[in-house]
Amino acid sequence: METLIINYTAREKRFAYLRDHRVEQIIFDRPEYRSLVGNIYFGTVTKVLPGMNAVFIDIGEEKNAYLHRDSLPAYVLSSEKQKNITSFVHQGEKMLVQVDKDATGTKGPKVTGIIEIQGNHLIYMPKGRYVAVSKKIADVNAQTMLRSLGSRHKTEEEGIIFRTSSISSTEEEIQEELQTLRQQFQELLQKTTFLKKAGLIFQKDTFIEMILNQAARMKTGEVIVDDLAVKKMLEQANPKVKHCYYNGKENIFSANQVEHEIDKALKRIVWLDFGAYLIFDETEALTIIDVNTGKFSGKTDYQNTVLKTNQLAANEIARQLRLRDIGGIVLIDFIDMKREQDKQTILNTFETEIAKDGKRTKIIGFTPLGILQLTRKKTKVTLSEALQVKCPVCDGTGRILSAETIAFRLERELLEHRHAEFEAILIEATREVKDTLLGADHAHIKVLEDLLHVKLYFSIQPSAKPYYVLKQFGDDKDISVKAIDTLA
């Protein structure tokens, strides 16, 4: 049973895909986090990097885009593939580029100069120079026929990718669509003549496209949506499934028990059956997943318990990768397996689950230390990046300096002012720092003051992060009146 739930009425648009009443994917679309993938820009090359065979391009967004030599039309059309990027592009050059990967962390978006214009049956590349067929078309004869058809109708510079639906299209329909896509590209080029600076010339509605693609893949089940126009559009796209309009007062996600799944997908720990659990640690460079048996002891020998736990983990990890939309390098620290056949079982289990994924995933295999390596294509920010911000206290590390550490720093700084000419010091600090510095019953205050030959006064301020500041040095009378929460 497949279910697609679409929340379209608010500014933040969302959809959830469920299989057998279990959430497999949640996608968000916010104005500030809207994916740029597929957008086409008129950009200016700002920097050429010969050592990296790449350039940075100003596309009018917050961060400059990155483009590799192999994605330049001049390189693709050239027969001299060994030349450096400086032979194909120069600083200040203007060009059309298309976003291939959204900006993440400190990195700007990744773009390509090989523009793709999508149609119903074709993907047209004005400078692609090759013909390809969707991998979903398995019939070898059909592949050969489509490649021959593409070669007959494209120019030498052009490229064509035949989509799955092209298998049931006539040659006349293909030719007509190709001409339409060529015209669309010429219209884009025409727009650039009016632009004086870098900027967007084509914006893709990725959310609607993702909904349509998800709905098209559904063979049975139902689509529940809170917008009548979207319902009508989806009915036309896939009449095989049931479509329902939801107009209840309660949010559509809450009404269908999806809202709590979002909170669960943001947690670091994910519990499995029988008390086992997973720990997710996401960084900008990679994601590390640790598998733990927890309370799960099993009813047979230890190795069978390990295999059972790792199988549960493999199924859930594949689901969590989709749910959290984790991309890039992923390292999975399964519980150590002594038997090689157990490792192969886990690989087979994981490959079966990953096959359900719409994102391209490459399983590299186990390292000598028993860690499974894989990469998953990353085109946009993860669920956690979209919904959360870095903690202002720990700056995203998950750890801060303890009150003890701060208190001992304060003590060392105070000792630097021994035998000073002033009579008192006003210290602003959190209560934990003050209490740690002065010890039980504030017994250490006299020791400190005798060492310093200075009176200490405190101004206690609330803060989630332990801290101190030496606010003022001066006369005892002046500073004592400014103290808050004094020792008296």
Place of tokens 């893949």: 217
Contact partners, residue 305, CB within 8 Å, separation at least 6 = 293, 296, 297, 298
How many whole angstroms separate alpha carbon 85 and alpha carbon 157? 20
> Full-prediction pTM beyond 0.85?
no
Contact partners, residue 24, CB within 8 Å, separation at least 6 = 17, 18, 319, 322, 323, 356
Place of tokens 């999508």: 118
pLDDT, position 358: 74
How many whole angstroms separate alpha carbon 190 and alpha carbon 211? 31
Place of tokens 């900008």: 284
Indicate left, alpha or beta for 461 from its phi (over 0: left) and psi (-120 to 50: alpha). beta
371, 387 Cβ separation under 8 angstroms? no
Q: How far is CA 254 from CA 119, 200, 249, 261, 262, in A?
A: 36, 36, 10, 10, 11
What is the Rg, in whole angstroms, of the alpha carbon atoms belonging to the chain? 30
**In which order are the strands placed within the sheet that holds 242-245?**
22-29, 13-19, 2-7, 222-225, 242-245
244, 223 Cβ separation under 8 angstroms? yes
Largest CA distance in the chain: 97
Task: Catalogue all structural domains in the chain, each as residue range(s) with its CATH number.
Answer: 2-31+220-260 (3.30.420.60), 40-202 (2.40.50.140), 266-387 (no CATH), 403-480 (3.30.300)
Which tokens go with 406?
A: 């701060």
pLDDT, position 299: 55
303, 267 Cβ separation under 8 angstroms? no
Averaged in consecutive runs of 10 residues, what is the pLDDT profile of the chain (488 residues)? 92 91 89 83 96 95 94 93 94 95 88 94 93 90 93 94 90 94 94 89 86 87 94 89 93 91 90 89 90 69 86 94 92 93 94 86 92 89 84 84 94 91 94 93 90 93 94 91 67
Which tokens go with 373?
A: 């390596």
